[in-house]
Amino acid sequence: MPKVSIVVMADTETHEGMGRMANALELAKELKQAHEEVELVFDGAGTKWIRELTNPAHKLSGLYQGARDHVAGACEYCAGAFGVKHAVQAAGVPLLGEFDGHPSLRKRIVDGYQVITF
């Protein structure tokens, strides 16, 4: 059974970024429905998506809520750098800082996860 770590780095400010976020959520949904092991990690500018997706009026909010139980967390350093640390914490999303304040992708690879970035 595959283990997949979906890492979202897309920014919230473009149509292209929204498309990448939608594709990441769709992949999480597909893997979840197939009972595969999947996690979502928000990194870089992608940490800004937590604030957007927890707004019920956002068009991707429902898709996010369906994958919420598979959110591993958001980069601690990047959430601070992009000014969304408090929004991430308020949403109940863990801050990940395993390697120099960032999520450890090496750890995920060693643990057998295939890392896919959006």
What local confidence, expressed as pLDDT, does residue 1 receive?
Answer: 83
Whole-angstrom distance, CA of residue 5 vs CA of residue 51: 21
pLDDT in tens, 34-49: 999 999 999 999 999 9
Total domains in the fold of the chain: 1
| Six-digit token string for 44 | 């870089």
Domain span holding position 78: 3-32+41-117
**Could you tell me the pTM of the whole model?**
0.96
Q: What is the DSSP string of 76-114?
A: HHHHHHTT-HHHHHHTTPPEE-TBTTB--HHHHHHTTEE
